[in-house]
Amino acid sequence: MSTREAALTALLARLNASLAARNPAPSIRRNETIPQRLPSGGLVVLRDGESVAETPILSPLAYAIEHRAEIEVLASDTTLLDALLMDIAAAITAEPSLGGAVEYAQPGAPAFEDVETEGAAAARAAALPITLFFTVAGSPLA
């Protein structure tokens, strides 16, 4: 498993662990399409994103990687959306190394929008960028 995949898997596991205690718990997914019906606890979708910086470090060759993932959060109202965003930020800042999978994980500022769902009032959504910093040996693909 590549370091990038290990970092994304650790981020997903951190989201699952921290949001499982909510009642009702949100549905947490990775790289899936948004369903037509929104779960009552909200929906959290981790998108893999892309590497935005690869800085070579010489002798021995390694790369400092800055990877930007995105967490989409959808909720039926603003109060639930805000609570989910606060829980996600708290989960990441409480353990920014994600169990040693990354050197540092940093949540950014969310972008908000209204989304239409079938047979319901407009839901609120936020796209939360998460920057993952890690170092790989030999190749940026490692």
CATH code, domain carrying 126 = 3.30.70
Question: What letter would DSSP give residue 50?
Answer: E
pLDDT, averaged across the chain: 91
Domain total of the chain: 1
Q: For residue 45, give the H/E element and its range.
A: strand 43-57
- pLDDT, tens digit (0-9, with 9 covering 90-100), for 61-84: 999 999 999 999 999 889 999 999
Report whether pLDDT(49) > 70. Answer: yes
Q: Is residue 98 one of the residues assigned to a domain?
A: yes
In a domain, 68, yes or no: yes
DSSP conformation class of 61: T
Name residues whose C-beta falls within 8 Å of residue 8's C-beta, 6 or more positions apart in sequence.
30, 46, 48, 69, 132
Answer yes or no: is 142 within a domain: no
Does residue 32 lie within any of the structural domains? yes
User: Residue 79: what are its φ and ψ, rounded to 5°?
Assistant: -65, -45
Cα 49 from Cα 11, distance rounded (Å) = 13
Per residue in 80-131, pLDDT (tens digit) is 999 999 999 999 999 999 999 999 999 999 999 988 766 667 788 999 999 9
Q: What is the pLDDT of residues 2-40, one digit of tens each?
A: 999 999 999 999 999 999 988 899 999 999 988 778 888
Q: Which domain holds residue 131?
A: 3-137
* The model's pTM: 0.91
Nearest to 83 by CA among 14, 13, 16, 25: 25
Rounded mean pLDDT, 125-141 = 92
Other CB atoms within 10 Å distance of the CB of residue 74: 24
